[in-house]
Structure 1
Amino acid sequence: MSPEIFVDILRDALLLVIVLVSAVIVPSLIIGLIVAVFQAATSINEQTLSFLPRLIVTLLALIIGGHWGVQKLMDYTIRLINSIPSVVG
């Protein structure tokens, strides 16, 4: 039971978290940037104009990519559970 095994497990978990979060956040950031450029070009200062499209895109990203994200999380969990005998023994 070496420390490298636990470092690998933690690294894989953090990478999975980064991938899952970025799959939801990146589309929202892109839409936010587009709306901000539009607001700057037209001098519109309406808060709901920037909030509503980001909310809709975030919800769509969760709806479309939710199955993929849950599948990635399940694969990691199954791989983690299957590696218990090699870590303990």
Structure 2
Amino acid sequence: MTQVMLSEVVKDTIVTAAKVSAPILIVVLVLGLVISILQATTQIQEQTLTFLPKLIAAAVVGIFLGSWMLQTVMSFTTRIFDLIARITT
């Protein structure tokens, strides 16, 4: 395995991880921002108020985009196994 191949694998790993995690992270980040603005305007400082909506939002995004996330990870795994097969032969 050359340095070029290794750098391509690392780059592909980072891009795949970012693509798979981005939808959940973005939704939870936006929801957390909205809830914190709501808390600041109403002066309700309950820390547990933000947990359940974030958890529910992450679950909903996971339900709707779970198949796409699985296909993305499976495609990445297939590429890695193909690369391993090319190296060993």
Q: What TM-score results when the alignment is normalised by the length of structure 2? A: 0.88
Identity %: 29
Deviations 1:8-38 (Å, cap 9, x if unpaired)? 0111011111221222111001000000000
Q: Which residue of 2 aligns with 1:53?
A: 53
Superposed displacement of residue 85, structure 1:
4.1
Amino acid at match of 2:87: V
Report the equivalent of 1:41: 41
Alpha carbons 1:5, 1:87 under 8 Å: kept: no
Counterparts of 1:11 and 1:87, CA distance in 2: 18
Deviations 1:50-86 (A, max 9, x none): 1111111011111111111110000111122223344
What are the ranges of 5 or more consecutive residues in structure 2 without an aligned counterpart?
none
Given residue 26 of structure 2, which amino acid in structure 1 is its aligned partner?
Answer: V
Aligned residues: 89
TM-score scaled by length of structure 1: 0.88
